[in-house]
Amino acid sequence: MTLSWNRYGKARVRLVKVLKARPAHELVDLTIDVQLEGGFGPVYDGDNTLCVATDTMKNTVYAFARLFPIDHAEAFASRLADHFIDKTAVSKVRVSTSEHPWTRLADHAFVQPGGEQWTSVVTREAVGTTVVSGLANLVVLKTTDSAFSGYPRDEYTTLPYTEDRIFATAVTASWTYRSGFTAFAARSAIRAALVETFAAHQSRSVQHTMKAMGEAALRASSDITGITLTMPNRHHLLVDLQPFGLDNPNEVFVATDQPYGLIEGTFRR
Amino acid sequence: MTLSWNRYGKARVRLVKVLKARPAHELVDLTIDVQLEGGFGPVYDGDNTLCVATDTMKNTVYAFARLFPIDHAEAFASRLADHFIDKTAVSKVRVSTSEHPWTRLADHAFVQPGGEQWTSVVTREAVGTTVVSGLANLVVLKTTDSAFSGYPRDEYTTLPYTEDRIFATAVTASWTYRSGFTAFAARSAIRAALVETFAAHQSRSVQHTMKAMGEAALRASSDITGITLTMPNRHHLLVDLQPFGLDNPNEVFVATDQPYGLIEGTFRR
Amino acid sequence: MTLSWNRYGKARVRLVKVLKARPAHELVDLTIDVQLEGGFGPVYDGDNTLCVATDTMKNTVYAFARLFPIDHAEAFASRLADHFIDKTAVSKVRVSTSEHPWTRLADHAFVQPGGEQWTSVVTREAVGTTVVSGLANLVVLKTTDSAFSGYPRDEYTTLPYTEDRIFATAVTASWTYRSGFTAFAARSAIRAALVETFAAHQSRSVQHTMKAMGEAALRASSDITGITLTMPNRHHLLVDLQPFGLDNPNEVFVATDQPYGLIEGTFRR
Amino acid sequence: MTLSWNRYGKARVRLVKVLKARPAHELVDLTIDVQLEGGFGPVYDGDNTLCVATDTMKNTVYAFARLFPIDHAEAFASRLADHFIDKTAVSKVRVSTSEHPWTRLADHAFVQPGGEQWTSVVTREAVGTTVVSGLANLVVLKTTDSAFSGYPRDEYTTLPYTEDRIFATAVTASWTYRSGFTAFAARSAIRAALVETFAAHQSRSVQHTMKAMGEAALRASSDITGITLTMPNRHHLLVDLQPFGLDNPNEVFVATDQPYGLIEGTFRR
């Protein structure tokens, strides 16, 4: 039996880089795969001498994100490819990127178009009809003006206080219209209030910003009696670049899917 | 043992309605759930006399979509709720809607924001580097200017020829830059060419429009040597409303996920 | 510009075939893709004379499922490939199948292993603890002993009464243990009661079987005070083969994802 | 405006615990949510004094997994709930668990039933037919007999060498039958060879085990000419419990989805 073809690498390295050089921050959101081909036969026999660890590939992506600009994903991928082609046994490097575009809301805030849905639940009983409208999967992110500190520390607390973190969430909102109301175009003003408040708020916590958003929504339409907000905290973890002799001034992050904080609240007049 | 609570209904009824009254068509894209509560105890004992079939609920949604305007999902849901509250045994109707927003491209064409990704694959070998860029999940739909007729008919053909159908797809494109090219902002012009051609084309088939899109992309950037396009045909089936005494002048459709046509082509200079 | 490569076809044709020749029914569950390559250049110029419609491919799959046995997916795919290779312009046919295995529960009932999860929700307040256990995504199917008839017919009803249909669902169950109970291995007996009752029941409706399952669960463990069941009706639609001169004696079905019936009930002592 | 209801917590904490006390290891695989309700109004005003960090909740889950047995998820959830009910301001704790069952293959190896699919690709050209069969999403895990060491260390390498790690993967395999072969039941022997070899192998790397699996498959059926295997490395990260004064003797892991190693190889006679 012969090994007639082989390839290996690290898939789905999630990289978010924030550029804060100018007042309007820039955001790059990439998922990157690094794959190597070459003379790796000995690895298949149990000898790892030539086997660049896929964990090292991942680290290299994050270190390069600090060392080099990412004007275009293609150029950044080329840098990575040039690095790995020099490793022993490697004959071919394939770096694939998938960029997730964001649209600017403000200097420090972005919305990710797509996936957003506009919802409604109409409940009809003999006594009448209740209309709850809402939206789901409104994905927003702010690159600064978000802190989380002062929380209690017990024997299982390791998270350091921070005055500056990324705050990313997928807002689900549902609001109840007063009985008989039918001017459902109010959705537009409520959505705008939610988004603008998220962008402008000096956040001390997800809860803190949620309340400001709820207040803004209730101000935006006098025809709603209450609003429920659900906001997962999509954690963006600051990558520890110290092992590579690099600092990380709130610039290079790994976007994580799970676990996530989950904050829910209902606000009524 | 007692039945202490019950609810039933039809979930995820997919409804697309096209309004062609004005030159700029309007598009409404909804997923609807209808759920009933009430005195349905006998159904749980095997007596279906009171059990409005969930298939009937689905039919009612499509018939109402023809009979009534859908200015707001909430108002349409209320109409449905008012209809079902009158059925025997029903004490509560819950109609939930989820609207999938589209953005207008042209009078008869739309793009669904979100989910779109910008891709690249950089391949590095001793001899040099190849850069293939692309995009994935660019979801577009045209409400007219799409025909499919003249295809061969054999013993298993039932599809009627049509001169007017919805054409919806999620474009995946990947194009190869000429060696050494690094002005990767070309992506923007290529994307625009694809979208504009899709919107303007008088389509005889998915393949026909694909070729026009490929040609437009190659014209948009003289620095690409070829482009591969993959375009699933996301079928929107015209609902047969005749059993309800209604016509359906290309207005009420069911959006389907599977099966789907899948068309692929590579175009080179 | 030249069309340097092309391929097209129908993707994700869902086929379920039931063989009832012997007392122990057999079940084949396949997702099939048919793809053609060849001299289809004219199609890309708007001439469909050579373009076998993908809808025809789908029809052919279902007709062949009635005409021929499906002992192995590979052999069935080969038959389809042999059929399409004879079409004008076709130089290559690719038929891909994905088989979804089921495990037999009884002569007419099956469970689809996998995806099942065992759930619990523990709620702690000052006054004490409540434990609700359950399971999710228990996928089961019966090939007979399921009817649905006698329901009311109104102006939007088209579904014919049936005394024999496929009944497929993904059971979600959650039951509440009496206060202080901690022998959580009871889950096993409750699960067995649900599955065995589903398999053996002469079903008049989803609700009818749900109640029998709820009763069985309450009998299986005297330590639970109630059980809530959620059972989507995963419709398997009988394919109309008449256009091809074939009958369909409850043998060839298309498995659908949406819309689906959704039945919920809570049963308490 | 009043905050009329609130809840917050950590969602989707992935916990895998391996018990090695007996020769036959035991495996518990849970996804856990912790949610608190109570007098958290000040948090919504920007005062975090009462706000148990959701990161602390996550840490507590992992520490408790080391401190206490997990005979039943319900009992483990109750312990967690009892811990959090004592925190200031908390009036209600909700701990939800979802257990992902595994089936034992051997003392140290498990398979996760479900999701597995049996695939085939039949390609028909004028010259004849090629049949490639396979399987996808065969999820297996071994709790020991897996090492990864001796790989090169460069400036971006941080992963420590290990002689004992969890090895989890979702095998995709596709094998080519010799021309004219039609005894497709061979799939069964090939699948068994893959699974048994995975379970028994003393692994120095994913590649090392992949080759053994490929050899076993080729031995299992003399009618296949080659096999391609794709094996993602679903990393299970050892949780660092030192901050809580606890060791972690390869017992408590976090299961991660991304990034993942991805190993591919083709083996031919």
Residue with tokens 């709850």: A132
> What is the Cα–Cα distance from D68 to D252, expressed in whole angstroms?
11
The answer, for B262 touching chain A at a CB cutoff of 8 Å, is no
| pLDDT (tens digit per residue) in D172-220 | 999 999 999 999 999 999 999 999 999 999 999 999 999 999 999 999 9
Contact call for A119 and B99, based on CB within 8 A: yes
Test mutation, D93, D124, D127, chain C, max C CBs within 10 A:
D124
| pLDDT (tens digit per residue) in B184-213 | 999 999 999 999 999 999 999 999 999 999
Query: Following DSSP, what letter does each residue of A166-216 receive, concatenated?
Result: -EEEEEEEEEEEPTT---TTHHHHHHHHHHHHHHH--BSSHHHHHHHHHHH
* pLDDT (mean) for A122-146: 97
Per-residue model confidence (pLDDT) at position B115: 87
How large a percentage of chain C has pLDDT more than 90?
99
Bridge partner residues of A15 (DSSP): A30
CB D53 within 8 A of CB D10: no
Classify residue B23 as exposed, middle or buried by CB count within 10 Å of its CB (0-12, 13-18, 19+): exposed
Of C206, C152, C147, nearest in space to B51 by CA: C152
In the structure, what pLDDT confidence band is assigned to residue C264 with cuts at 50, 70 and 90?
Answer: very high
| pLDDT (tens digit per residue) in A210-246 | 999 999 999 999 999 999 999 999 999 999 999 999 9
Angle at B108 between CA B105 and CA B110, to 5 degrees: 40
Per-residue model confidence (pLDDT) at position C114: 81
A-chain residues within 8 Å CB-CB of B131? Answer: 74, 78
Q: Map residue B239 onto helix, strand or coil.
A: coil
CB B4 within 8 A of CB C267: yes
Residue D240 DSSP symbol = -
**In CATH terms, is domain A104-235+256-268 a member of 3.10.270.10?**
yes
CB B259 within 8 A of CB C11: yes
| pLDDT (tens digit per residue) in A16-59 | 999 999 999 999 999 999 999 999 999 999 999 999 999 999 99
Give the global pTM. Answer: 0.96
> What is the Cα–Cα distance from D86 to D83, expressed in whole angstroms?
6
Minimal Cα–Cα distance from D145 to chain A, Å?
Answer: 13
In the structure, what pLDDT confidence band is assigned to residue B114 with cuts at 50, 70 and 90?
Answer: confident
CA dist list (Å): A10 to A51, B213, D39, D141, D233: 12, 34, 45, 19, 9
* pLDDT (mean) for C78-98: 98
Note the helical H segments in C39-112: 41-44, 54-67, 73-84
How large a percentage of chain B has pLDDT more than 70?
100
* Mean pLDDT, all residues of chain B: 97
Test mutation, D43, D97, D201, chain A, max A CBs within 10 A:
D43
| pLDDT (tens digit per residue) in C118-154 | 999 999 999 999 999 999 999 999 999 999 999 999 9
Q: Is A54 noted as a catalytic residue in this protein?
A: yes
Contact call for D12 and A243, based on CB within 8 A: no
**In CATH terms, is domain C8-100 a member of 3.30.1130.10?**
yes
Is the peptide bond preceding residue B152 cis, with omega within 30 degrees of 0?
A: no
Per-residue model confidence (pLDDT) at position B147: 98
Q: Is C7 left (phi over 0), alpha (psi -120 to 50) or beta?
A: beta
| pLDDT (tens digit per residue) in D230-250 | 999 999 999 999 999 999 999
* pLDDT (mean) for B149-170: 98
Minimal Cα–Cα distance from A11 to chain B, Å?
Answer: 13
> What is the Cα–Cα distance from D209 to A45, expressed in whole angstroms?
9
Minimal Cα–Cα distance from C215 to chain D, Å?
Answer: 23
For chain B, the domains span 8-100, 104-236+246-268
Q: Please give the ipTM for the structure prediction.
A: 0.96
CA-nearest residue to A90 within chain B is B125
Backbone φ and ψ for C227, nearest 5 degrees, come out as: -145, 135
Minimal Cα–Cα distance from A185 to chain B, Å?
Answer: 8
| pLDDT (tens digit per residue) in B91-109 | 999 999 999 999 999 999 9
Residue type, C8: Y
> What is the Cα–Cα distance from C118 to D73, expressed in whole angstroms?
9
CA-nearest residue to B256 within chain C is C258
CA-nearest residue to D6 within chain A is A265
Fold classification of B104-236+246-268 (topology level) = Urate Oxidase (3.10.270)
Sequence-distant (≥ 6) Cβ neighbours of residue C264 within 8 angstroms: B5, B6, B7, B8, C228, C229, C230, C231
CB D207 within 8 A of CB A44: yes
Please name the residues between 23 and 52 in chain D that touch chain C, using a CB distance below 8 Å: none
Active-site residue identified among C31, C54, C119, C228: C54
Subunits adjacent to chain A (3 or more Cβ pairs under 8 Å): B, D
Backbone φ and ψ for B193, nearest 5 degrees, come out as: -60, -40
Residue C115 has pLDDT above 90, yes or no: no
Test mutation, D32, D90, D258, chain A, max A CBs within 10 A:
D258
CB B71 within 8 A of CB B45: no
Report the run of H or E that residue C188 belongs to, with start and end: helix C186-200
> What is the Cα–Cα distance from D64 to D227, expressed in whole angstroms?
44
D-chain residues within 8 Å CB-CB of A8? Answer: 206-207, 261-264
The answer, for A75 touching chain D at a CB cutoff of 8 Å, is no
Active-site residue identified among A17, A25, A235, A236: A235
* pLDDT (mean) for B168-184: 97
Backbone φ and ψ for C22, nearest 5 degrees, come out as: -110, 165
Active-site residue identified among B31, B54, B97, B119: B54
**In CATH terms, is domain D104-236+245-268 a member of 3.40.228.10?**
no
> What is the Cα–Cα distance from B48 to B40, expressed in whole angstroms?
9
Residue C268 has pLDDT above 90, yes or no: yes
Chains C and D touch (3+ CB pairs under 8 A): yes
Angle at B90 between CA B85 and CA B96, to 5 degrees: 60
Residue-level pLDDT, tens digit, chain D, 269 residues: 999 999 999 999 999 999 999 999 999 999 999 999 999 999 999 999 999 999 999 999 999 999 999 999 999 999 999 999 999 999 999 999 999 999 999 999 999 988 899 999 999 999 999 999 999 999 999 999 999 999 999 999 999 999 999 999 999 999 999 999 999 999 999 999 999 999 999 999 999 999 999 999 999 999 999 999 999 999 999 999 999 999 999 999 999 999 999 999 999 99
CB B262 within 8 A of CB C6: no
CB A177 within 8 A of CB A208: no
